[in-house]
A and B are shown apart, each in its own frame.
Chain A
Amino acid sequence: MTKTTEKKKDVTILFAGDSGDGMQLTGSLFTNTNALYGNDISTFPDFPAEIRAPQGTVAGVSGFKLHFASIDIFTPGDEVEVIVAMNAAALKANIGQLRMGGTVIANTAGFDKKNLRLAKYDDEANPLLDQTLDKFRVIEIDVTKMTKEALINSGLGTKEIDRCKNMFVLGFLLWMYNRSLETTQKFIGEKFAKNDSIREANLNALKAGYYFGDTNETFTSRYEVESAHLPKGEYRSIMGNQAAAIGAIAAAKKAGLNLFYGSYPITPASDILHELARHKNFGVKTFQAEDEIAAICAAIGASYGGSLGVTASSGPGIALKGEAIGLAIMLEIPLLIINVQRGGPSTGLPTKTEQSDLMQAMYGRNGEAPLAIVAASSPSDCFEAIYEAARITVEHMTPVIFLSDGFIANGSEPWKFPKSSELTPINARFANKEKSMKDGTFYPYKRNSDLVREWAIPGTEGLTHRVGGLEKENETGNVSYDPANHELMVNIRQEKVDLIAHDIPNQEMTQGETSGKVLVLGWGSTYGAIRTAVRELIGDGHSVSHAHIRYLNPFPKNLGDLLSAFDTIVVPEINNGQLVHIINAKYGVGAIGVNKIQGLPYTAREIKERILELM
């Protein structure tokens, strides 16, 4: 029997199962195959806050969403076309995302009475048997049984065999989407190089899934998503937190500094610590401190000693670090502070995304305590954005907050990575006896035309001096309670941050004309959704443009002019209206906020609808 192949521009698949079912791995491996094939890709893992929530329950469902395409894409997809549901709970938790006419691939063994009860289906009614899924195409496979049969001679126990069922599913999907098994086979070969029986079992389960699709007469059509026309170059797949870690190392290297990372574990920032700890051969020192305050203070201590001090957390931890950030502002030394935002306030929604710490970054300290803020807009953009944050902190001797969030931190996409030689140089200016002393005296707070002081580190001959959190006299740095001096210093610290505007690029349009009816102004992780929505609106003939701000403090010099060229400014945010507030306070342009605060990213469709309502 011949099987047909249908071409598709893009497909969104959601792999969902118990948190122990290996769905994250399955999704990642399917992603890698498609990335290597040349698709454009965007992924988003969605896992429960509990490490091992009760098996079979909706709370325990772990999902991995993958959008792959032959066209440029910027989001993990609004609606899902295929859901792989390893059990009833996985289906129940995610069926709302499936588009009309979409496909459910259900592991029937996960829909027995026990699973239906745990998933809390009314009267244990099986959705595979009633009308629940009438609007969808349902492919039922007893994955558990098929895997068991395929591995009957493996010599493995039931539990170990059961762990291979995700490979069966992966094999089937690779068949369905016309992909080779090669990448996955290579991965399994490396991962289980030392365990022959487990390696063979996984490889056999993978092949069994593939051949099941190939030989079973129920499945008559396969799909093909051709490679995307991505710009020429070398690519890799990267997650946001990984990109942030690598970007920080790159910046330290280019600046000729050692990187010291002080941090306390917190979701969703911990992966940066894990990544950095793997790269000690770059002179990276990672310090898991006793608490958030110790983490930042250790980073300040390291910066004071001449390293690039970096600390990271999420909103609750940043709140604890507030006083120490103020100290770094007073010391006028480099300090890179990473906030991977999550749903707040308080403990809030640890595993869910939000953009609600912009005000905290801007104002969340006692006293007049300005600092620079840089935000990443996508997983791969974390590299460039954190690199810029590090450049500013080193060259302007001021703490910088780098904002990311749970969505881009855990999401992944292909990244056309740069060569290290293409990265902007970073120049640390250290004080020394020869150039920094005047008439035999060292003035630690003497500044250049950007109001930046030199970095005077212990071990430097002749420059012994004392610094601290008390207000200090300009130039000498001596403690001073003089009223006029305090006002002078407050203004200097503000102006120093304002002057960074001369050292960052002008704001550019992401897409659309430089003037017109509507400007959609975004920051951070809404980038993909806004970009997709505005592309469609422009395609439909609307006068809409999109600008996405990376430098949130200070703003690019031309931002005010850029805003004034539009009739209406719309600011979509995953918060209750923070950037819009700052924009209106500064430029008085009457920008309109459109907000979503559900712990979830915006979809392109939602943004498109909100913009259309305002037009």
Chain B
Amino acid sequence: MQTETLEPKYTAKDFATDQDVRWCPGCGDYSILKQMQSTMAEAGIDKKDIVFVSGIGCSSRFPYYMDTYGIHSIHGRATAMASGLKASRPDLSVWIITGDGDSLSIGGNHLIHLLRRNFNVNILLFNNEIYGLTKGQYSPTSPKGQVTKSTPMGSLDHPFNPQALALGADATFVARTMDRDPKHMRDVLKIANDHQGTSLVEIYQNCNVFNDGAFEVYTDKASKAETTIMVEEGQPLIFGQERDKGIRLNGMKPEIVSLKDCSADELWIHDSSDRMKATILSRMFDNNALEGGLPRPFGVFYQEDRFRYEEAMQAQVEQAISIKGEGDLDKLIRGGHYWTV
């Protein structure tokens, strides 16, 4: 029997707003916006039930360009704002749009607490390794030694590794993708949307004005095959122009092997439910542009089913009602001991 679906059908265009998009021409944000609009169209969630929450920064303009509900909040606090929204409105599909400065510097505290609480929300972390809106200072993900306006002699900060940080905070979903690979991004966004819990998707995003080419070694066709590895569930970790190299785990240590000397069975098989392996993946963080080394992994590193804060919170409300009954205001006001004059 054929049933007519009641889900509203959208196209990506239905998610565009009447506002002019004001990112710099050539900015990686355009690509993310486009994939997000497509993802939402495919997801089929009613527009009225979607909220985009952002902080401050170039990426945080994002909600203005999505025809859903949206709040462009204050610097670093989108995560906190979204926590209260989701806690009080578990029915909504909540998306947090943030950048490396917004989420890892000024909002670092809220990010780790959101991850451990595991609200069922999605975080898109636009990582461009620079402060764009304030015109070019180094960010908490900029590599040490980076010369920027605020670091003419090179940055002294050891950078954050967002994937390792998220896993350290017991995130239940961590993934990495990039602006220059729309298909990969869309696939990752879809899995993130399906994940029940907080999904952190780090997106390498090129700032062509203040930090052009920061990720070129991973996005450029000439080098990409050698410097990146796309992890896929249940598949061996294989990479290389000729797809002739793989990653094998020697104990806890990942090492590059040639497929000529090593059969595919011996390779590391990606298992996103394995926290230890995900941690090792997150630590494959060599600076390929300078030193080469292990390829940089992309894809869903880790996924775990753990209780959602907002569900547990709602359950406590319901439990309280089942034990004490629906709140009686007069009883509350009167309290346990009262007397009549």
Which of B50, B63, B85 is most buried by chain A, counting CB atoms within 10 A of its CB?
Answer: B85
Chain A residues within 8 Å of B71, by CB: 301, 304, 331, 466-468
Given contacts A305-B85, A417-B334, A478-B19, contact A468 B72 (CB under 8 A): yes
Chain A CB within 8 A of B317 CB: yes
A136 to chain B, nearest CB (A): 34
CB atoms of B48 and A283 under 8 A apart: no
Q: Which of A324, A461, A464, A469 has the most CB of B within 10 A?
A: A464
User: How far is it, in angstroms, between the C-alpha of A147 and the C-alpha of B204 when the chains are bound?
Assistant: 73
- For B80, the chain A residues whose CB sits under 8 A away are 289, 293-294, 297-298, 301
Binds A, one of B251-259, B273-281, B322-330: B322-330
A466 near B64: Cβ-Cβ < 8 Å:
yes
The interface bits of chain B over 217-252 (1 if a CB of A lies within 8 angstroms of the residue's CB, else 0) are 000000000000000000000000000000000000
Query: Judging by beta carbons under 8 Å apart, are B113 and A290 in contact?
Result: yes
Which stretch (B87-95, B160-168, B170-178, B187-195) binds chain A?
B87-95
For the complex, is A96 an interface residue (Cβ under 8 Å from B)? no
Query: Per-position contact with A for B309-334: 1 when CB-CB < 8 Å, else 0?
Result: 00001001101110111110110111
Residue of B nearest to A305 (CB): B89
A interface residues, tally (CB under 8 Å): 70
Q: State the Cβ distance, B91 to closest chain A Cβ, in Å.
A: 7
- Tell me whether B48 and A464 are in contact (CB under 8 A): yes
Q: Which residue of A lies closest to B314 (CB)?
A: A285
Q: Does A418 lie within 8 Å of B333, measured CB to CB?
A: yes
Complex Cα gap A290–B309 (Å): 14
Chain A hits for B324, CB < 8 A: 281
- Given A232-B341, A468-B71, A285 and B313 contact (CB-CB distance below 8 Å): yes
Find out whether the CB atom of B110 lies under 8 angstroms from the CB atom of A417. no
| Contact status A281-B321, CB under 8 Å | yes
27 contacts between A and B (CB under 8 A): A32-B337, A38-B341, A230-B341, A231-B341, A253-B327, A253-B329, A260-B87, A279-B327, A283-B327, A290-B113, A294-B83, A294-B109, A300-B73, A302-B84, A305-B84, A305-B92, A326-B74, A419-B330, A420-B329, A458-B48, A458-B50, A459-B48, A464-B48, A464-B68, A465-B69, A466-B66, A468-B64
Interface centre among A283, A290, A458 (most CB of B within 10 A): A458
Judge whether A459 and B334 touch: CB under 8 Å. no
Task: From known contacts A301-B53, A301-B84, infer whether A235 and B341 are also in contact, taking CB-CB under 8 Å.
Answer: yes
Residue B81 at the chain A interface, CB threshold 8 Å: yes
User: In the bound complex, what is the Cα–Cα distance between A91 and B74 (angstroms)?
Assistant: 52
1/0 contact string of B27-61 vs chain A (CB within 8 Å): 00000000000000000000111110100000000
Measured CA separation A302–B49 after assembly (Å): 15
Residues of B within 8 A of A299 (CB): 84
Asked whether A468 lies within 8 Å of B48 as measured between CB atoms, the reply is no
The answer for the CA separation of A285 and B90 in the assembled complex, in Å, is 12
Complex Cα distance, B313 from A260, in Å, reads 11
Chain A proximity of B213: nearest CB distance (Å):
31
B338 & A236 in contact (Cβ 8 Å cutoff)? yes
Q: Are B313 and A235 in contact (CB under 8 A)?
A: no
* B82 CB within 8 Å of chain A: yes
A275-330 interface with B by 8 A CB criterion: 279-285, 287, 289-291, 293-294, 297-302, 304-307, 309, 323-324, 326-327
- In this assembly, does A463 line the interface, its C-beta being within 8 Å of a C-beta of chain B? yes
Whether B77 pairs with A294 at a CB distance below 8 angstroms is: yes
Complex partner residue of B73 from A35, A230, A287, A468, CB under 8 angstroms? A468
Contacts of B332 in A (CB 8 A): 246, 249-250, 279, 282
Residues of the A chain whose Cβ atoms lie less than 8 Å from the Cβ of B152 = none
Complex Cα–Cα for A287 and B80 (A): 11
Given A249-B327, A290-B109, A470-B72, check contact A300 B341 (CB 8 Å): no
Task: Known A-B contacts: A301-B85, A304-B71. Give 18 more (CB < 8 A).
Answer: A233-B341, A234-B334, A235-B339, A236-B335, A238-B335, A260-B87, A299-B84, A300-B73, A301-B71, A307-B88, A309-B84, A417-B334, A458-B49, A458-B51, A458-B85, A459-B89, A466-B64, A467-B71
**In the complex, are the beta carbons of B317 and A285 less than 8 A apart?**
yes
CB distance from A294 to the nearest CB of B (A): 4
Provided the pairs A291-B109, A294-B109, A302-B88 are in contact, do residues A281 and B77 lie with their beta carbons within 8 angstroms?
no
Q: Do B63 and A464 touch (CB < 8 A)? A: no
Report how far A78 CA is from B93 CA in the complex, Å.
58
Q: Which residue in chain A gives the minimum CB-CB distance to B336?
A: A236
- How far, in angstroms, from A258 to B313 measured CA to CA in the complex? 13
> Does A420 contact B88, Cβ atoms closer than 8 Å?
no
Give a binary string over A172-195; 1 marks a CB under 8 Å from any B CB, 0 the rest: 000000000000000000000000
Residues of B within 8 A of A463 (CB): 48
CB-CB under 8 A from A478, the residues of chain B are 19
| Contacting residues of chain A (237-294) with chain B, CB-CB under 8 angstroms | 237-238, 246, 249-250, 253, 258, 260, 262, 279-285, 287, 289-291, 293-294
Give the one of B70, B88, B341 with max A CB within 10 A: B88
Question: Is the C-beta of B67 less than 8 angstroms from some C-beta in chain A?
Answer: yes
- The CA of A298 and the CA of B71, in the complex, are separated in Å by 13
Tell me which of A291, A301, A470 has the highest count of chain B C-beta atoms within 10 A of its own C-beta.
Answer: A301
> B329 is contacted by which of A250, A287, A327, A462 (Cβ under 8 Å)?
A250
Residue of A nearest to B78 (CB): A297
* Residues of A with C-beta under 8 A to B67: 464
B50 to chain A, nearest CB (A): 8
A287 to B316, CA, bound (A): 12
Closest to A458 in B: B69
Q: Do the beta carbons of A297 and B81 come within 8 Å of each other?
A: yes
A331 to B88, CA, bound (A): 18
Q: Do A302 and B87 have beta carbons less than 8 Å apart?
A: yes
Judge whether A359 is part of the interface by a CB distance below 8 angstroms. Answer: no
Point out the residues of chain A lying under 8 angstroms from B110, CB to CB. 290, 293-294, 297
Q: Contact: A460 with B48, CB < 8 Å? A: yes
B340 within 8 A of A: yes
Inter-chain contacts of A139 with B (CB < 8 A): none
Given contacts A32-B337, A231-B341, A279-B327, contact A327 B91 (CB under 8 A): no
Residues 486-520 of A, flagged 1 when their CB comes within 8 A of B and 0 if not, give: 00000000000000000000000000000000000
A36 within 8 A of B: yes
A297–B96 CA distance with the chains assembled, in angstroms? 14
Nearest Cβ in chain A — how far from B72, in angstroms?
A: 3
Given contact pairs A233-B341, A237-B337, A281-B321, A468 touches B81 in the complex (Cβ within 8 A)? no
Residue of A nearest to B75 (CB): A323
- In the complex the two chains form, what is the Cα distance from A327 to B72 in whole Å? 10
Interface residue? B150 (CB, 8 A):
no
For A246, the chain B residues whose CB sits under 8 A away are 332-333
Closest 4 CB pairs of A and B: A468-B72, A298-B84, A301-B84, A282-B327
B contact residues around A262 at 8 Å (CB):
84
Question: Are B73 and A297 in touch, CB under 8 angstroms?
Answer: yes
B314 to chain A, nearest CB (A): 8
Q: Residue A538 at the B interface, CB < 8 A?
A: no
Let me know if B88 and A258 touch, CB within 8 A: yes
How distant is A375 from chain B, measured CB to nearest CB, in Å? Answer: 21
Residue A479 is within 8 A (CB to CB) of chain B in the complex: yes
B11 at the interface (CB under 8 A from A): no
Interfacial chain A residues near B325, Cβ < 8 Å: 281
Q: What is the minimal beta-carbon distance from A324 to any residue of chain B, in angstroms?
A: 6
Kindly state whether residue B17 has any CB partner on chain A within 8 Å. yes
Q: A250-B332, A293-B80, A419-B330 are in contact. Are A305 and B88 (CB under 8 A)?
A: yes
What is the distance, in angstroms, from B36's C-beta to the closest C-beta of chain A? 15
- Which residue of chain B lies nearest to A463 when distances are taken between CB atoms in the complex? B48
Inside 8 A of B82's CB, which chain A residues have their CB?
301
- Residues on the B chain within 8 Å of A323, using CB: 74
Q: How far is the CB of A439 from chain B (nearest CB, A)?
A: 14
A294 and B113: CB pair below 8 A? yes
User: Does A327 contact B68, Cβ atoms closer than 8 Å?
Assistant: no
